[in-house]
Structure 1
């Protein structure tokens, strides 16, 4: 989304936002579709009169949620950060919330300056369907063995070519990424797969989740995940998990990216 001509005096801001992705066609502006970027830009225009250039840490897909999406922009508005946050929350739809607005260093870029991101994939493993969180979890109708899933996830840690876990449709100069941590935890019928990495390919976390579920339900051995990674073939890994269970939890930046 293009901005108006840059004013002579401007400052960079770092917005941290959360959203329920259920009713959105993803983050990125798309003509005729409801997106997070469109709604946030519209709200910014209402309270400042500016047409902003909004850059997110990553373009979440349709149905994907966020607890800590980071957005950068520059503005000529002199309104304090807290006042801007309150103004945005007053006019935004109820499925987007501005959690914080902080001053950022000149040139701060939410995508390029990110050091790592943490995603969580949420599963309800029970014969009984979920009720209150049904829009935020993948319902798997059998108990999952999280110990096996955790062992399998360990085979993904490190710097590897993750082409086996990338869905076609996004052009990348490299499919090599570094996974820093994979953790599988349970609370009652809720299983969470938490993945932290320096970057992710298109649908990569959903492919990891779908693959680990194959291990958790006993269809595959834990060692299969490392074999699928080495195959460098999308057909060698498991299916993509549905979008509704995926949440962007947080994005980490170098100290000094905001002030």
Structure 2
């Protein structure tokens, strides 16, 4: 049978999602826990790989297995073998046609940012940080240039393996609550470091170092040299993929209410 899992994790202690020889990745820890619970090796495929230091609220994976367990057993049993900063949130039996990555209609990220003259302490590693005041209207005006289908080469990491730099960015929402800003991004897919590179440029506009229309020039340049430096991974959260409702997968986890 094919099983889908929803997974949450803090990325600070890990070298990203994808398995590496060091074994210090989220995928390595998950597959080790699954194997311990199921008493057989299990290989997973995820909805979207995250970089080192990036967090996941609802990463979705699928795997095929002959081991029969109830969905709740997959949750509790796997969590027994996971470290405290990784937890399976839900499990579902899905049709063989379901694919965690290929079935996703869109992917969503949130960046949480602290604007303060003093660096983070309690939330260190969980939020980005700027010490200069930010202009919300300027950043929203700049983000409007990014909506739609574009060549995002200016915001693409050199090591990106995507077949095409053309992506369809459908939503950017920017809102402030006290000293904290939240930037929500939704697109059909994202390039390597794309959001962290977008954040660097949005914050350059927000701090008054560039006008909002500068973002249009950066996008049109199709050159990484035209954009601002890559911003910190600390405040970046993968909210998860969007699937058609007929798959019957959860659309919300408790951590959404926190972040």
- C-alpha separation between the residues in 2 aligned to 1:90 and 1:171? 35
- C-alpha separation between the residues in 2 aligned to 1:123 and 1:163? 24
Query: Deviation per CA, 1:13-69, whole angstroms, max 9, x where unpaired?
Result: 111000000000011111124110110011001111121120111110110001011
| Partner secondary structure for residue 80 of structure 2 | helix
Q: Are 1:112 and 2:95 matched, yes or no? A: no
**What residue number does 1:46 align with?**
36
| Partner secondary structure for residue 243 of structure 1 | coil
Query: Deviation per CA, 1:204-250, whole angstroms, max 9, x where unpaired?
Result: 00011111000000001111111111111111111111111111012
Query: Deviation per CA, 1:163-214, whole angstroms, max 9, x where unpaired?
Result: 1110111222211000010011111111111100000001000011111000
Counterpart pick for 1:101 among 91, 102, 121: 91
Alignment of 1:1-259 (within 5 A): 11-258=1-248
- C-alpha separation between the residues in 1 aligned to 2:118 and 2:158? 34
**What residue number does 1:4 align with?**
none
- C-alpha separation between the residues in 2 aligned to 1:32 and 1:60? 17
Q: How many residues align?
A: 249
**What residue number does 2:256 align with?**
none
The Cα shift of 1:258 comes to 4.3
Q: Return 5+ residue gaps in structure 2 as ranges.
A: 250-259
CA contact (8 A) 1:29 1:35 kept: yes
- C-alpha separation between the residues in 1 aligned to 2:103 and 2:92? 15
TM-score by structure 1 length?
Answer: 0.93
- C-alpha separation between the residues in 1 aligned to 2:168 and 2:195? 13
- C-alpha separation between the residues in 2 aligned to 1:155 and 1:102? 39
CA contact (8 A) 1:119 1:248 kept: yes
**What residue number does 2:253 align with?**
none
CA contact (8 A) 1:18 1:96 kept: yes
TM-score by structure 2 length?
Answer: 0.93
The Cα shift of 1:132 comes to 1.6
| Partner secondary structure for residue 99 of structure 2 | coil
- C-alpha separation between the residues in 2 aligned to 1:77 and 1:102? 14
Q: Return 5+ residue gaps in structure 1 as ranges.
A: 1-10
CA contact (8 A) 1:14 1:258 kept: no
